[in-house]
């Protein structure tokens, strides 16, 4: 019975670790995409300040 309880606890911990890992990956992907968007906007704004045109 104790082995079964330990097995369930280990399974629960593994599920939490996998869930946290999945959330971290999704957050990383979101930040990467958001960062690219923001970078593009800053480049565009900088080009406008210096008189360059977007092509």
Kindly report the three-state secondary structure assignment for every residue of 22-34: HHHHHHHHHHHHH
pLDDT of residue 11: 80
Nearby residues of 53 by Cβ (< 8 Å), 6 or more positions away: 47
d(CA 22, CA 17): 9
pLDDT digits (tens, 9 = 90+) for 1-52: 566 566 777 788 889 999 999 999 999 999 999 988 888 889 888 888 888 7
pLDDT of residue 30: 92
* CA dihedral angle for residue 10, residue 16, residue 14, residue 25, rounded to 10 degrees: -170
């Amino acid at each position: 019975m104790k082995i079964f309880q330990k097995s369930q606890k280990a399974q629960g911990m593994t599920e939490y670790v996998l869930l946290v890992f999945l959330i971290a990956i999704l957050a990383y992907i979101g930040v990467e995409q958001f960062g690219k968007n923001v970078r593009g906007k800053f480049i565009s704004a900088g080009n406008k300040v210096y008189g360059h045109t977007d092509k």
